[in-house]
């Protein structure tokens, strides 16, 4: 459910910004479904559902594929976004 809530939140707000490409470290990231390269991004506040991992006070980064709409959720400080 936390994932669904995050997707719905992003669907409302994500298109406000320009799409970006993503790197994980030095590796370009592409959508796991359609291999698209462009994503709308937003920070996602992790709720109490994540407390078991000790992450509830941290924010994750959600990437919504502009091509197919698949939602990727990252908890990785090496994730970098860059506009086109």
Which residue's CB is nearer to Zn ion, number 18 or number 33? 33
| Among candidate residues 36, 42, 32, 34, the one with its CA nearest the CA of residue 81 | 42
Using rule CB under 5 A, residue 70 touches Zn ion: yes
Q: At closest approach, how far in Å is the CB of 17 from Zn ion?
A: 18
Candidates 9, 36, 80, 81: give the one binding Zn ion (CB under 5 A): 36
The string of DSSP letters for 7-44 reads HHHHHHHGGGSPPEEEEETTEEE--TTT----EEEEEE
CA pair distance 62, 10, nearest whole angstrom: 8
Candidates 33, 43, 47, 49: give the one binding Zn ion (CB under 5 A): 33
Q: At closest approach, how far in Å is the CB of 58 from Zn ion?
A: 25
Residues that bind Zn ion (CB under 5 A): 31, 33-34, 36, 65, 67-68, 70
């Amino acid at each position: 459910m936390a994932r669904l809530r995050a997707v719905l939140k992003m669907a409302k707000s994500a298109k406000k910004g320009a799409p970006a490409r993503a790197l994980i470290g030095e590796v370009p990231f592409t959508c796991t479904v359609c291999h698209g390269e462009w994503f709308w991004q937003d920070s996602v506040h992790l709720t109490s559902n994540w407390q078991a991992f000790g992450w509830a006070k941290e924010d994750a980064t959600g990437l919504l594929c502009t091509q197919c709409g698949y939602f990727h959720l990252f908890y990785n400080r090496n994730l970098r976004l860059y506009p086109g």
